[in-house]
Amino acid sequence: MQGGSSGIGYGLKYQARCISDVKADTDHTSFITGTLSLREENEVHLIRLSSGGTELICEGLFSHPNEIWDLSSCPFDQRIFSTVFSTGESYGAAIWQIPELYGQLNSPQLERIASLDAHVGKINCVLWWPSGRHDKLISIDDENLFLWSLDCSKKAAQVQSKESSGMLHYLSGGAWDPHDVNAVAATCESSVQFWDLRTMKKTSAIERAHIRNANYDMKKKHILVTAEDESGIHIWDLRKPKIPVKELPGHTHWTWAVTCNPEYDGLILSAGTDSTVNLWLAPISAGDEPNSEA
Amino acid sequence: MGTDDVPLDDKAKRMRDLLSSFYSPDPSSTPNAPSKYGILDAINTSSFDPDQYMNLLVQKSNLEALLQRHVEMAAEIKNLDTDLQMLVYENYNKFISATDAIKRMKSNIIGMEGNMQQLLDKIMSVQSRSDGVNTSLFEKREHIEKLHRTRNLLRKVQFIYDLPARLGRCIKSEAYADAVKFYTGAMPIFKVYGDSSFQDCKRASEEAVAIIVKNLQGKLFSDSESIQARAEAAVLLKQLDFPVDSLQAKLLEKLEQSLGDLRLKTDEIENVSLESNDTSKLGKVSDSIPTTAHEASVREFAEAIRAYRVIFPDSERQLITLAEDLVIKHFEMTKQYIKRRISSANLLGVLRTIWADVLLMDEVLCEAVLPDFSLEAAKDAVKLYVARTFTYLLQDISDALLKVNVKPKEAAEEHPLQVALEASKKAVLQGSMDVLLDFRQLLDDDLGLLVKLRDFIIDWVQEGFQDFFRALDDHFLLLSGRKNLSSQDHGLTEGVHVEKVLAGLVLVLAQLSVFIEQTAIPRITEEIAASFSGGGARGYENGPAFVPGEICRIFRSAGEKLLHHYINMRTQKVSTLLRKRFTTPNWVKHKEPREVHMFVDLFLQESKAIGCEVNQILPQGHLRKHRRSDSNGSTTSSRSNPLRDDKMSRSNTQRARSQLLETHLAKLFKQKVEIFTKVEHTQESVITTTVKLCLKSLQEFVRLQTFNRSGFQQIQLDIQFLRTPLKESVEDEAAIDFLLDEVIVAASERCLDPIPLEPPILDRLIQAKLVKSKEPNPITP
């Protein structure tokens, strides 16, 4: 589909697997992304949409020691972000701070604030609480859920609590409820599990196989959007976990990531392995009107 | 001359005044009108002024004229004088004759008084005489009158004394009417003297009357009596002050009872007609036998009603309720009957019986408007029948489809999907045609009831088909397990579990949808147009109830949806396989590849199973490149020429190696291969799409891992092995090549040390695998 192919492009040197919007930068529309290259030198790019909206400008280019599998920007400090990286054999996660640039654009070193090095297995993602300042972080690896308390000034992160998901449940990712500081949804092979961070216990689950990605609606409570391998996108009302509220066809291959627009109701963006990004208009009540862009 | 004229004028004037005062209607007006006419004509008016006249005359006229005037006037005066004289004479004569007449009258009246006196005397004497006669005859007359009264009384007493005997005679001769007349005649006397003088008599006659009443009642209730007699009996009973209402109620009860009998009989008839219909397909012939029995009883009932009406003329209301009750019961039975599975011939039989009953009763009781009443009831019944028929059709189709589920193992050698598809196709088309034929029968029948309902039936059938296909679509989705999640209502298939839905069934459903869209709907539309056009009870603005376009659209989308669902189910299975394959081993510490990994076998087996299912049902596409002699998917036939395969794989190996070195470059210049094309309902399209999706998944799984050299080489080996069999079964070779290359590229990208296997080693390993797979082994059937 050639929907709106007049987009603005920005080229990276290598392949990338993740991009994050810089929420804390309220003056500009900024993104941060990191490359995924096993054998080359990886980079983190800070990109800003020019004021005219016609161009993407590289605001900062920093080298990163390893290939980046997951990256997310801190929602309250635009210079801080987290990455999950892999050396090929092992995984690690760290919190980084972008150094003050003072105009020059040559790749300075990123400042490592803290490394979340309590993990053993494959780390999947690091989550910030999306709604504002919160001194906690969550990191999820295959088997465990870690709650970290982060102190940026002391440049230290400590494991506050940890819980194993139990045998035979391989976690693959998660989402932190923007409406509730204590609720986290974690995706695993056959279900989405909901955790209460105070007790570190599972509260409930949606039984659904092959969920790749989940995201909360920023505006509406209890609404969760999930992306699945074959069966597309589902919108759930968490009070009714048996049946999805809505079903969208998704992508021709796997639907990899899905996220809700924080401002406009019913706008859902999804990315799939068929190399397309689809923008859905799916208000909970009315019909959907898919529009997609390669 | 003038002086001469004046006295004459005076005299004349006096005369004239006199005359005019005598004749004039209003003499007072004369003096009050002093005329100033200076005209000579004024001579005749009352206000004539002689002096003025003279002056005027003298002034105006000459002598000659005056003289002439004088002569004229003298003549006039003479004439007037004679006239006056005549008048006086006449008056006088009249007066004289009047005086004479008065004189005569006076003399006539004198003798009359004496005559009058005489007349009075005579009348007086006549009166006295008549009084004398009257008084002399009075006594005798009184006596005679007394005697007469006594005689009458005696006769009455006689009558009353005779009454019992007379009543007895009447009873004997069954002259109840006379008896009742006698008894009612004697009633007043009994009422007055019954307790004293005629006690015995009264008792005796009352006894007799009791017998009469009894007899009359018996007559009333006996069916053998003529209606006339029974009616008379009722009238007589009424005259005897017998409580007729209770009788009426009793009789009505009896009628109701017979109604109950009638209903039971209807049931039997239905049973009989059902059985006979089963044995001989001709409804009309078989119906005729039991109908006669039934008809007789209904006729009887109708007769009873007729009698009842005659007997109790004011009982219409109850009878109407009774008749309506009968009709309602009939239709209740019919509805019960419809709940069982019946053909329209059976329904026709039942309706015909009912209609005959209704007509019979209508003859007797036309006030009840039973035909209209039963029309309404029949409407419901036929509607129910139409709805039921479609439900059964849906059930049939569902059954035909679910046979795939029931015994997939038993029919494994044959083509269970094909069988199921054919069966369900037949169920849809033949079922629909049968249903239409069935309804045709209803339409073609000339039964009065159905003729009136024709328009409704047409609409119902059209609506029925519309709803039926919608329901079928729903049902398909339900069967395919797609709908179970979102649908709260559990309809016909309570037993179908989501997990147990076979992919094959989904494919059958997809193909059946296509069949319905392309074949069944046009056929049905044709058929409906041929014999079910019209209708119109819905009104033209709504259009016909059956909209084939809409149904076609529904099923086209259903077909596509189901096909996608099938592909999804299949790829999901492969996905699970691949996921296990790629998440289980530690690829960074992989050992050197020794043989082609087992997952390849499983993958091929899966794709073969898909091919097997697909080949059974779907038509071949026109782009088929590889001929396959056998469609059941046995390994031997697909690997019929191993020598050729060897060559191919060798050349492929070399190509793969060279490609690996220039992957990035090559990718840049390669035209982008369209991987995700539209799925068509052909064998090739489905297989290709499935394989493409699986390979894409494979690529994505590879991209999620990090490999060491050996791991990469293992992937290279596996992919290389896959290349030949996959290309053989798939239509779009270029896309498959592209995707397989993509997997290797992805693996090399994710490899720490991407050095491919040497071609000879690759070849050797592949050969070893081929040899191994040719041996009888448990993995490939």
Q: Which residue of A has its CA nearest to B488?
A: A243
Collect all residues of chain B within an 8 Å Cβ-Cβ radius of residue A38. Answer: 706, 749-752
Residue B588 contacts A, CB cutoff 8 Å: yes
- Per-residue pLDDT at B414: 56
Superfamily of the domain at A166-283: YVTN repeat-like/Quinoprotein amine dehydrogenase (2.130.10.10)
- Return the number of CB contacts < 8 Å for A and B: 42
Q: For the purposes of burial, counting CB atoms within 10 Å of the CB of B676, is it exposed (0-12), middle (13-18) or buried (19 or more)?
A: middle
Residue B17's nearest CA partner among B70, B78, B87, B9 is: B9
Per DSSP, chain A holds a count of helices (H) and strands (E) of: 0, 24
Determine what percent of chain B falls in helix, strand and coil, rounding each to the nearest 5.
80, 0, 20
Q: Does A255 touch chain B (CB under 8 A)?
A: no
**Which residues in chain B are contacts of A39 at CB distance < 8 A?**
752
Residue A156 dihedral angles phi and psi, to the nearest 5°: -145, 145
Alpha helix positions (H), B27-62: 29-32, 50-60
The mean pLDDT of A147-155, rounded to a whole number, is: 81
Q: Give residue B644's pLDDT.
A: 40
Q: Report whether B435 contacts B391 (CB < 8 A).
A: no
Q: Tell me which residue in B572, B751, B752 faces A230 most closely, judged by beta carbons.
A: B572
Please tell me if residue A201 touches chain B, with a CB cutoff of 8 Å.
Answer: no
Give residues 88 to 147 of A whose Cβ lies within 8 Å of B.
88-89
Structure-block tokens of residue B405: 């589920």
B486 touches chain A (CB under 8 A): yes
| CB spacing of B751 vs A38 below 8 angstroms | yes
With an 8 Å Cβ cutoff, are A88 and B706 in contact? yes
Considering only CB atoms, which chain A residues are within 8 Å of B568?
230-231
Q: Compare all CA atoms of chain B with the CA of A241 and give the residue at the minimum distance.
A: B485
Q: Return d(Cα A133, Cα B444) in angstroms, integer.
A: 81
Q: What is the pLDDT of residue A231?
A: 65
Residue B496 has a pLDDT of 39
Give chain B positions within 8 Å (CB) of A35: none
Rounded Cα–Cα distance for residues B185 and B239 (Å):
11
Ordered by start, the domain boundaries in chain A are 13-164, 166-283
* Backbone dihedral region for residue A91 (phi beyond 0: left; psi -120 to 50: alpha; all else: beta): beta
B503: chain A residues, CB-CB within 8 Å:
none
Q: Which residues of chain B have pLDDT under 50?
A: 1-6, 27-37, 264-265, 272-290, 407-413, 484-499, 539-540, 624-654, 656-657, 659-661, 668, 777-781
Of the candidates A110, A21, A22, the residue with the CA atom closest to the CA atom of residue A66: A110
The answer to whether B486 contacts A210, with C-beta atoms less than 8 Å apart, is: no
A257 and A278 in contact (C-beta within 8 Å)?
no
Topology match between the domains A13-164 and A166-283: yes
Mean pLDDT is highest, among A54-58, A273-277, B394-398, B710-714, for B710-714
Q: Which helix (H) or strand (E) holds A160?
A: strand A156-164
> Looking at the complex, does the CB of residue A229 fall below 8 Å from at least one CB of chain B?
yes
As a whole number of angstroms, the distance between CA A62 and CA A101 comes to 11
**Using CB atoms, which residue from A89, A231, A243 is nearest to B568?**
A231
pLDDT in tens, B382-406: 888 888 888 888 888 887 777 765 5
Which member of A210, A244, A273 has the closest CB to residue B700?
A273
Give residues with Cβ within 8 angstroms of B18, minimum separation 6: none
Indicate the residue of B676, B697, B749 with minimum beta-carbon distance to A38: B749
For residue A252, list chain B residues with Cβ-Cβ distance below 8 A. Answer: 676
First vs last C-alpha separation in chain B: 183
Whether residues A274 and B706 touch (CB distance < 8 A) is answered with: no
Rg of chain B over all Cα atoms, to the nearest angstrom: 64
Cβ atoms of B618 and B633 within 8 Å: the answer is no
Average pLDDT for residues A266-293, to the nearest whole number? 70
Q: Which residues, other chains included, contact B299 with Cβ-Cβ below 8 Å and sequence gap of 6+?
A: B360
pLDDT for A243 beyond 70: yes
Which of the residue ranges A93-97, A123-127, B286-290, B334-338 would you say has the lowest mean pLDDT?
A: B286-290
Distance from first CA to last CA of chain A, Å, rounded? 7
Chain B closest-CA separation from residue A86 CA (Å): 9
The position carrying tokens 């109407």 is B320
Q: Which residue of chain B has the CA closest to A273?
A: B700
Q: Give the one of A243, A247, A253 whose C-beta lies nearest to B696's C-beta.
A: A253
The pLDDT assigned to A293 comes to 45
Digit-coded pLDDT (tens) for A192-231: 888 888 888 888 888 876 788 888 888 888 888 888 876 6
Task: Give residue B276's pLDDT.
Answer: 42
State the smallest CA–CA distance between residue B755 and chain A in angstroms.
14
Of B537 and A162, which is predicted with more confidence? A162
Is the minimum CB–CB distance between A230 and chain B shorter than 8 Å?
yes
Q: Nearest C-alpha of chain B: how many angstroms from A252? A: 7
Q: Is B282 on the interface with A (CB under 8 A)?
A: no
Q: For chain A, say whether B676 makes contact (Cβ under 8 Å).
A: yes
- DSSP code for A89: S
Per CB-CB distance under 8 Å, the chain A contacts of B486 are 243-244, 247
Please report the ipTM that was assigned to this predicted complex. Answer: 0.83
Q: Which helix (H) or strand (E) holds B84?
A: helix B63-109
Nearest to A88 among B485, B588, B700 (CB): B588
Which chain A residue shows the shortest CA-CA distance from B569?
Answer: A230
Architecture of domain A13-164: 7 Propeller (2.130)
Residue B21 CA to residue A222 CA, distance in Å, equals 134
Cβ contact A273–B751 (<8 Å)? no
Are residues B48 and B13 in contact, defined by beta-carbon separation less than 8 angstroms?
Answer: yes
How big is the CA angle at B716 (ends B714 and B718), to the nearest 5 degrees?
70
- Residue B370 vs residues B9, B352, B378: alpha-carbon distances, Å: 114, 15, 12
The DSSP code sequence of B165-198 is: HHHHHHHHHT-HHHHHHHHHHHHHHHHHHTTTTT
By CA distance, what is B675's nearest residue in A?
A274
| Residues across chain B | 781
Candidates B568, B697, B706; nearest CB to A86: B706
Please spell the DSSP secondary structure of B299-344, one letter per residue. HHHHHHHHHHHHHSTT-HHHHHHHHHHHHHHHHHHHHHHHHS---H
Check residue B27 and give its pLDDT.
43
Give pLDDT, residue B143: 92
